[in-house]
Amino acid sequence: MKNIPLILMGCGGVGRQLLQHIITTRSLHSRKGLYLRVVGVCDSQCLVVTRDWLNNDLDDSLLLKACQVKQDGSSLSILGDFDKCQVYGHSESQGKIFEIASQLGKSTGLVCVDCSASSDTVVVLKEVVHMGCCVVLANKKPLTSTMEDFDKLFGYPHRIRHESTVGAGLPVIVSLNRIISSGDIIYRVVGSLSGTLGYVMSELEDGKPLSKVVRDAKTLGYTEPDPRDDLSGMDVARKALILARILGRQISLDDIKIESLYPKELGPDMMSVEDFLDHGISRVDGYMQERVMKAASNEKVLRYVCVIEGPRCEVGILEILKNSALGRLRGSDNILEINSRCYKEQPLVIQGAGAGNDTTAAGVLADIIDLHSLFP
């Protein structure tokens, strides 16, 4: 049986779902001759590591316990009460990960899985890659900091996977990489890569005011606690940056033109979430309604998209032909249209659910399994 040792960073909605997927799909792995050996799990406060991490793992009952502890809003440090594992505080955890990575990197290999939402993990990930370990990410931040960090992470491209950073479980990254390695030339990539903004734009199309749509989206649990985190376009810009860098552009977040759905006067520094929802965002209703109507008079609809074409990389509202894949998009699905030499007249279209703990974690698990050939 081939062993794949793992350390999981981040035990939130996605991280917990990943642990659950690993446990429930064990028979599938063993049919492939694989065993996923979870040696450590960490959150923002501490790292839990199995004793004798060269040979043992955190067993499934302990992993389920970890999920329960985090679900209840407690710290993983509670697991220190069990004698099968050791708990390291925040200040020691980085050193401990390096110790494990340097040992396992030279021998059996190790996958560091980043399901956190932090920009701090990049420090660890850059190092472990150079120690011979693999990296799998759902977290976009390590890939969207400096170009130096990005190049360092991709110093060994066969050891890194990050399918879930764009479009959750949708096969966006793998499709782009296949097109690139075939020698095909990508002319243009256009996508709607935010479930929240997809929902907002298709509700606007039905004639509802922006303020109502945003309030509804929040009630339905489609938005971040502060909906401005979605409406700013920043998250879409990070996804666009990842795609642009895969396509070989040497750019940073600052180089991307980003259109926010609210003006600066309604920003988080200026008013609370409640004020924003109660009377802030409604100030944009009229302007947005006009844009929707203007687009409709040209047989077009508004979509919040990322566009990468030549030197151009931007995210914002665009008028899109109603009779196109993007124009027909409804609800919170994600979609990516790729035009290349081979997909010239009709784009290659990838569409489906682009968010959710379940599909995101499934994408992460598939990435881990995909690395199996690197393990002895």
Ligand X SMILES: NC(=O)c1ccc[n+]([C@@H]2O[C@H](COP(=O)([O-])OP(=O)(O)OC[C@H]3O[C@@H](n4cnc5c(N)ncnc54)[C@H](OP(=O)(O)O)[C@@H]3O)[C@@H](O)[C@H]2O)c1
Instruction: Give the residue ranges of the annotated binding site.
Output: 10-15, 140, 224
Q: Where do contacts with ligand X occur on this chain (CB under 6 A)?
A: 9-15, 42-45, 70, 115-118, 120-121, 138-140, 164, 168, 355-357, 360
Query: Which of ligand NAG, ligand X, none sits in contact with 74, Cβ below 5 to 8 A by type?
Result: none
Annotated binding-site members for NADPH: 140
23: number of CA atoms within 13 Å, CB side? Answer: 17
Q: How far is the CB of 70 from ligand NAG (least distance, A)?
A: 8
User: For the chain, how many residues are written?
Assistant: 376
Number of residues that bind ligand NAG (CB under 6 A): 3
Closest C-alpha among 233, 238, 204, 199 to residue 219: 199
Query: Which of ligand NAG, ligand X, none sits in contact with 118, Cβ below 5 to 8 A by type?
Result: ligand X
Contacts of residue 175, Cβ cutoff 8 Å, sequence gap at least 6: 338, 348, 350
Query: Which of ligand NAG, ligand X, none sits in contact with 120, Cβ below 5 to 8 A by type?
Result: ligand X
CA dihedral 295, 301, 306, 309 (to 10 degrees): -70
Contacts of residue 72, Cβ cutoff 8 Å, sequence gap at least 6: none
Q: Please check whether residue 109 is in contact with residue 375, taking contact to mean a CB–CB distance below 8 angstroms.
A: yes
Q: How far is the CB of 294 from ligand X (least distance, A)?
A: 33
The answer to whether 44 contacts ligand NAG (rule: CB under 6 A) is no
Per-position x/- string for 13-32, each x denoting binding to ligand NAG as judged by CB under 6 A, each - no binding: x-------------------
Query: Which of ligand X, ligand NAG, none sits in contact with 49, Cβ below 5 to 8 A by type?
Result: none
239 is catalytic: yes
Q: Please check whether residue 332 is in contact with residue 230, taking contact to mean a CB–CB distance below 8 angstroms.
A: no
Query: In the window 305-364, what residues touch ligand NAG (CB under 6 A)?
Result: 356-357
The answer to whether 116 contacts ligand NAG (rule: CB under 6 A) is no
Please give the Cα distance from 270 to 283 (Å, whole number): 14
Evaluate the CA torsion angle 291, 294, 296, 300 in order and state its sign.
negative
Binding site for ligand NAG (CB under 6 A): 13, 356-357
